[in-house]
Amino acid sequence: MSLSRRKFLTTAAASSTAGLILAAPAIATAQSPRTFNWRMTNAYGPGSPFYVEGPGSPTDMIKKIHTMSGGRLNIQHFAAGELIPAFEGFEAVQSGTIEMNAANSYFWSGTTFAAQYFTTVPFGMSYMGHMAWLFHGGGLELWQEVYEPYGLVALPLNNTGVQMTGWFREPIEDVNQLNGLRMRIPGLAGKVYAALGVDARVLPGGEIFPALERGVIDAAEFVGPYQDRRLGLQNAARYYHTTGWHEPATTGELLISRSHWDSLPDDLKMIVRTACMASCLDSLAWSEAVNGEALTDLVENHGVIARVLPDTVVSALREATLDTLATEANADPLVRRVHDSYMAFKANHDRWADISEGPWHASILGA
């Protein structure tokens, strides 16, 4: 090999090596994962168990996301009133003011009635049925379709399980007592009650006790024994009715700006989805763990009278529910599609529950 050729190859190799060394920092920089800093608002007030803090809560989910993402997705949480009022999350996320909001989709049923089905349906499915419909029955896909015109994405956030009918200053023994009753009650249940003459009102959680105590309202529904005891509702009304007809399983909603969601890489999207699914299970397990003790305490130590609503009242509420659902479904093709999907899945799930869980419940009650 000639001297000039050997010199050329040596120089080329050195230049190539230098190029790799010089390029390495640029390659590393290009591959550094992006960090996202988001804000989440909430329809519920500071310190609220389940809705703000504790197992399965939004702040608990935020910690899961931060840990699983290695700090790449950081979410700052604001309870109701800390950044925006309780029920303005839908508009805030839609406008891009914030990236996320935690609430219940039935708060937006005035904007799109189909949103009701993704929280709960009166006389509808249990936690197991509702989760099954959302994740494996097409419900989650319909949820995205309903919110697409608003530039929003939604995911199930948590679930309370079956709720109590609510607190009443006087026991409900006849359907005629509902006529003129002033009651805090959100979602479709409010429309159903209104059909029977109830003055249905939507109040944030922090306003329920003072309204009930002062007689501004005659009755109020919130969640269940643990949550209701924390608000002190047992000190404002004595009669605690149940059947869980209005919210047989109440799913929380994580609302996300579509443009911000689309900006996330696939692994962070999967982390958010997984954290939400974990919260759905954790929140229900926690609710089931604390409600039994709370109910016992309310009855034995606070003089609360827990009663099932009379069959005649439940029948009237069921009839009004079916009429209201039919009216809304007939008025909007998209609501009709969501309604038909939900009800078809419910029919099959009911058959399975009747033959699997039904006999088991009967054997427990008969023991």
Same domain, yes or no: 181 and 309: yes
Predicted pLDDT of residue 116:
95
Show the DSSP H helices in 148-263 as ranges.
187-195, 205-213, 225-231, 258-263
Phi, psi of 73, rounded to the nearest 5 degrees: -125, 110
Q: Is the pLDDT of residue 7 over 80?
A: no
Same domain, yes or no: 117 and 177: no
pLDDT digits (tens, 9 = 90+) for 136-174: 999 999 999 999 999 999 999 999 999 999 999 999 999
Same domain, yes or no: 49 and 113: yes
- Model confidence band, residue 367 (pLDDT cutoffs 50, 70, 90): low
Through-space distance between the first and last CA atoms of the chain, rounded to whole angstroms? 99
Same domain, yes or no: 64 and 150: yes
pLDDT digits (tens, 9 = 90+) for 16-54: 444 433 444 444 445 678 999 999 999 999 999 999 999
Predicted pLDDT of residue 358:
80
Q: Is the pLDDT of residue 179 over 60?
A: yes
- 275 is written with which tokens? 């954290």
Domain count, the chain: 2
Predicted pLDDT of residue 118:
98
Burial class (CB in 10 A: 0-12, 13-18, 19+), 181: buried
Same domain, yes or no: 212 and 270: no
Q: Find the domain containing 81 and state its range.
A: 36-162+249-288
Q: Is position 227 within any domain? A: yes
Q: Is the pLDDT of residue 288 over 90?
A: yes
Same domain, yes or no: 149 and 219: no
Q: Is position 23 within any domain? A: no
CATH of residue 261's domain is 3.40.190.170
Q: Is position 362 within any domain? A: no
Same domain, yes or no: 197 and 176: yes
Q: Is position 366 within any domain? A: no
pLDDT digits (tens, 9 = 90+) for 60-90: 999 999 999 999 999 999 999 999 999 999 9
- Model confidence band, residue 3 (pLDDT cutoffs 50, 70, 90): very low
Length of the chain: 367
Same domain, yes or no: 216 and 265: no
- For all residues of the chain together, what is the average pLDDT? 91
Burial class (CB in 10 A: 0-12, 13-18, 19+), 262: exposed
Same domain, yes or no: 227 and 198: yes
Predicted pLDDT of residue 31:
62
Q: Is position 42 within any domain? A: yes
Task: Collapse the DSSP code of 42 into the 3-class scheme (helix H, G, I; strand E, B; otherwise coil) and give the result.
Answer: strand
Q: Measured between alpha carbons, how far is 215 from 184 in angstroms, rounded to an integer?
A: 12
- 57 is written with which tokens? 């809560």
- Contact indicator for 253, 156 with CB cutoff of 8 Å: yes
pLDDT digits (tens, 9 = 90+) for 298-308: 999 999 999 99
Q: Is position 103 within any domain? A: yes
CATH of residue 226's domain is 3.40.190.10
Task: Collapse the DSSP code of 188 into the 3-class scheme (helix H, G, I; strand E, B; otherwise coil) and give the result.
Answer: helix
Predicted pLDDT of residue 222:
95
Q: What is the CA radius of gyration of the chain?
A: 26
pLDDT digits (tens, 9 = 90+) for 205-238: 889 999 999 999 999 999 999 999 999 999 999 9
Percent of the chain with pLDDT over 70: 90
Same domain, yes or no: 140 and 66: yes
Q: Is position 119 within any domain? A: yes
Same domain, yes or no: 45 and 110: yes
* 116-132 mean pLDDT: 96
Predicted pLDDT of residue 365:
64
Same domain, yes or no: 208 and 133: no
Task: Collapse the DSSP code of 152 into the 3-class scheme (helix H, G, I; strand E, B; otherwise coil) and give the result.
Answer: strand
- Contact indicator for 73, 66 with CB cutoff of 8 Å: yes
Predicted pLDDT of residue 6:
45
Q: Is position 341 within any domain? A: no
Domain final residue, candidates 288, 316, 351: 288
Query: In b/e form, how buried is each residue of 341-355, taking b as 16+ CB within 10 angstroms?
Result: bbeebbeebeeebee
